[in-house]
Chains A and B, each alone.
Chain A
């Protein structure tokens, strides 16, 4: 066993001995991730004095466990009550919530816990083994390439719109228009802010998220007695281990699907500035494009749930790679970790693995051990968590509205954001009642500003020459992949229909 192997084994056992930190932190992370408005990043900021008072190992393990658990926690309300805890879980309800409405909430939770844990664990191992290579991804993915990555995510609007193209595209276009509100990234000129200072920084994501999904969902469920049907309720009233094991088994049988979608998350996580929301939308779109049953997506299809959950947990290990290897945090949580670690005298960057290998490897090991613990501690809870859906809506709807409005207020502490969430709630309710897909609006709101940012940077770099979009080899390869991922499924579908006609 080489020197690195010895360090890894030593760090693994050392990390396990911190179970007393990891297990409570996992439960804290689940709560933090599940409540919209809270995230691992702002929790670490709030608890920064505590984090700084901890010794280096404890602080490091605490932050990493919180980060991973919060990512997983965001999927729980997304599945049970159609409320993504963070933007990274915005693609989860597309198939997760229909499963709950069919009385398969417990199964869906078990599935997502297995997919998230395995995805996170697998990508942690891959990241550990291929760190120097992965760290190079950022060197090739510049603004031009990122435009194409964004378009992968945005093309999901077309997939969602497949059932009613006009309504789908109108919803997506509306989302993109809403996403363009705020000041532009080059000259900070306000656009469509209507004089509201609160909109200068763009449409805040959490109020839009909770409004479109949670508040509108509360309006919808208030018209019913229960979220789920009576038959489904009877099934949920007596939760069994069978459903948990069945969900876990469904996920495990799709291990290959978990593997490749989590690798998408890992790669997108490595790119500085990209994050879980992009990863989950891209993974969902790719999963659907290469599926033999694309029409099943959106109806409670297991692969439609597994893809975004594996991907957004793959992002967690990805964001650590540029932080540890280059000293550049891949996302907001990694940036806060950087501050805390620097307080402890740890300098990230190329020299970290020479000067402080135990810290470098320790962060990945903390992630791997956290995911291991999560799988065994959270999985049994799925049978109890899913009972949320059996609560009558007269109690559930006010709770959803009050919790989510508080969540909308928390990130910026503006009353304005609560009103905004209500406005988005009304928009979402109208959209649902008239057959427009709220997810298509949200994709526009989340990915639109990012697409615009990379587009304006590219144009600024090229002095306005639009051909810059086709100026890089990797970018051109990605363009081809994008076109293929859109055209091939349509072509396969047409061929299948032709064969059916011929057979008949």
Chain B
């Protein structure tokens, strides 16, 4: 037996201290290797207090329990969402502690109109929260009270149509309607949902197109005539037909769709962290409390709709394709 292995008072104390130290430090060491160790920052490319904010708060109120950490939103509105994405891609570390919560429909369409400074494949959406189809609506006092009125009038003269922004799925829905019927529409970007509803109600424009959740929130002051997708809420959208049913078309749904995105580099460098994010995101959807939180945040329950990496990628590709197809009409080029 060597001297080193002799159990004496000094060795006993030394070993005891080391073991005790390791025991005390163990939770810290374990935490260091676990994810997440700190709050997750989320870039939201719209204003505080809007639909994305409410949706984000509702969803993360449940997700934070599954993930075991809190979410800290940062709001970076401007230039149709472009500012938020540029800041996320340019200034935030790709370490899975920084996410973006965007509206895939209008925001991805933007890239088709004007290329961003980053490669659009350098980020991916991995968790879709909802899908909300665009809708065509008139003010309660509008002379155009039916879809037939709209089409007939649109064949006589060019109708001015309010939209939140040019590159919006609802705008593409409207242009598709024009192509299908021969009616002539002139898109007027009224800068935001509130102005778009006001434009239709006050007669600034002949009618408007917008994400249907915002149309439902406008209540009695508007009347919905057409949905650019499936009408899953019936009477809340005045039982308006879908564009495919009404005109025997086969168009994809023109959706606004909020989803969480992440740097591609973060996915490549930290696959374990990404797994935690995607698995807890899915678990959140399986929690019954999510629906309650979503409805309390003024969400339409029928629109709460899980989507993973594949569904999001498919949607992103479809939006880019639609954007490229309608680019001349949406940019005036």
Contacts and interface: CB of A to CB of B under 8 A. Distances in A.
Interface string A348-364: 11110000000000000
B325 to A, nearest CB: 17
B190 interface: yes
A142 B204 contact: yes
Contact of B197 (A201, A328, A342, A453): A328
Interface in A444-487: 453, 457, 460-461, 463
B87 interface: yes
Contact of B218 (A48, A141, A327, A457): A327
A42 to B, nearest CB: 8
What bracket does the count of chain B residues touching chain A fall in?
Answer: 35 or more
Interface in B135-162: 140-141, 158, 160
Interface in A325-351: 326-329, 335-336, 339, 342-343, 347-351
B79 A190 contact: yes
A349 B195 contact: no
B86 A187 contact: no
A461 B186 contact: yes
Nearest to B187: A460
B48 interface: yes
A281 to B, nearest CB: 21
Nearest to A340: B49
B21 interface: no
Nearest to A186: B189
A347 B236 CA distance: 13
B244 interface: no
Of the candidates B165, B197, B220, the one having the most CB atoms from chain A within 10 angstroms of its own CB is B220
B77 interface: yes
Nearest to B141: A139
B166 A186 contact: yes
B114 A45 contact: no
Contacts of B48: 42, 45
Interface in B242-273: none
Contact of A187 (B77, B113, B158): B113
A460 B188 CA distance: 7
A342 B219 CA distance: 11
A188 B220 contact: no
Interface of A: 41-42, 45, 48, 138-139, 141-143, 182-183, 185-190, 197-198, 200-201, 272-273, 322, 326-329, 335-336, 339, 342-343, 347-351, 412-413, 453, 457, 460-461, 463
Given A187-B331, A188-B166, A329-B194, 8 more contacts: A143-B204, A185-B191, A188-B110, A272-B194, A328-B197, A328-B221, A460-B188, A463-B186
11 contacts: A138-B201, A183-B78, A185-B191, A188-B110, A190-B79, A197-B86, A272-B194, A272-B195, A328-B202, A347-B219, A457-B188
